[in-house]
Structure 1
């Protein structure tokens, strides 16, 4: 599948709230590669985690699956019999591209693609759940309910991978991390206009929180153990165990 260049915000425009529409779906692989530091490291480690935590005859969930990168990583590394991957996204455009992407790669583990809000997804018999830069687009007051539903539907010994853009509790350090992230985007070819307009587009739809808030919420939701395993600038990934 041809990788198109993300130039959505390259020209000056009246910036609307960010939306996972057809424009974004078309350029998403390029967008996330150039915008999210450490994304490939997170995917690689998800493969290792799948080998460790996938349980036989269980469900593996990719909530907010976008084009299916995490889904395919779990399928590639799952060694357990009787598993199913349930991949959920509420963007029809993203799911249509995900279906094309997934069918390009062979694998034994069946994949159930669902177009729905993750808040409406029933979690049952889960040994793994992935929220890869997804929870940050859910209203903060709904996030505990989402995590509680996941924990309640997870088998003992199950694993949640939660990756989020974060806001540092110290405003000075928060500004440092934001500046470093912007340098990362400049190095990947984004202009000042693109960086500024993308930030404006995300202001109302992506509400970031601190690492401490995320860890406390996971404990409240019913996870026995949780820890940050990876951070690059203001992006981090957490492993939580049932």
Structure 2
């Protein structure tokens, strides 16, 4: 995935900042954008691979919901070589993302079948799953629909199956939340983003990305029935959770 161009989508002043969409323009710069915007992103991908290797079951399906360009799909696929009869289903509702994801998967030889589907993940049937990954996807689902989606994932998981959930979150303390937000903005500045880019990106994404507190995420997971819920990675206001059925 080294064909990514530098993200300069918000580098020039915009007369009107539209809501963020995962279109062709974003596809072209997405790997650069996410690595410069999400602290610990590569560590999270590595961990998704490790956890997939640990929890994937023979004769099961592994899902990447909101797969974007397939970074998590590839991390999982590379760690499934010792698991017999496993199939990957990657899904995203952006046609541009799905097309590029298919290209990326075709670029890596593998005996493990992987299907990339363009679909709203709220309508995707989930069954016989041992691992389900949602890598910074839930935050784009309307908040009143998140519980229902989690219930469908839980119902589709085999006993001992896992959900790997990565999310940007907000602190329940206003003061602490500001500390985390400031640290994140410093991270973006250190990666070459200007004040204009940071503020315009924030304006574009605030209507489409609604973040919850970690406690809210954890409570939802417990409410739908997950037996164990553990934060396994956190950097600033970004965290990854392991939930075991």
Whether TM exceeds 0.5 here: the answer is: yes
Q: Is the 8 A contact 1:21 1:94 kept in 2?
A: yes
Structure 1 position 51, deviation (Å): 1.3
Alignment of 1:10-29 (within 5 A): 10-13=11-14, 14-29=16-31
Q: What per-residue deviation string (whole Å, max 9, x for no partner) do you get for residues 162-208 of structure 1? A: 00000100000000000000000000000000000000001100000
SS of 1:95's partner is helix
Question: Residue 74 of structure 1: which of 67, 76, 99 is its match?
Answer: 76
Q: What per-residue deviation string (whole Å, max 9, x for no partner) do you get for residues 127-172 of structure 1? A: 0000000000000000000000000010000011000000100000
SS of 2:117's partner is strand
Alpha-carbon separation, structure 2, partners of 1:113 and 1:25: 16
SS of 2:209's partner is coil
Aligned to 2:199: 196
What TM-score comes out, normalization by structure 1 length?
0.99
Aligned to 2:155: 152
- Tell me how many residue pairs correspond in the alignment: 242
> What are structure 1's unaligned runs of at least 5 residues?
none
Q: Is the 8 A contact 1:75 1:108 kept in 2?
A: no
Aligned to 1:37: 39
Aligned to 1:120: 123
Alignment of 1:2-17 (within 5 A): 2-13=3-14, 14-17=16-19
Aligned to 2:95: 92
Q: What per-residue deviation string (whole Å, max 9, x for no partner) do you get for residues 64-105 of structure 1? A: 000001101111001211110000000000011111111110
What TM-score comes out, normalization by structure 2 length?
0.98
Alpha-carbon separation, structure 1, partners of 2:65 and 2:196: 31
Q: What per-residue deviation string (whole Å, max 9, x for no partner) do you get for residues 23-52 of structure 1? A: 111100000000000000011111111111
Aligned to 1:187: 190
Alpha-carbon separation, structure 2, partners of 1:46 and 1:165: 16
Structure 1 position 108, deviation (Å): 1.4
The runs of at least 4 consecutive aligned structure 1 residues that moved more than 2 Å come to none
In angstroms, what is the RMSD of aligned CA positions? 0.6
Question: Residue 57 of structure 2: which of 55, 58, 66 is its match?
Answer: 55
Task: Find out whether 1:162 has 2:165 as its counterpart.
Answer: yes
SS of 2:47's partner is helix
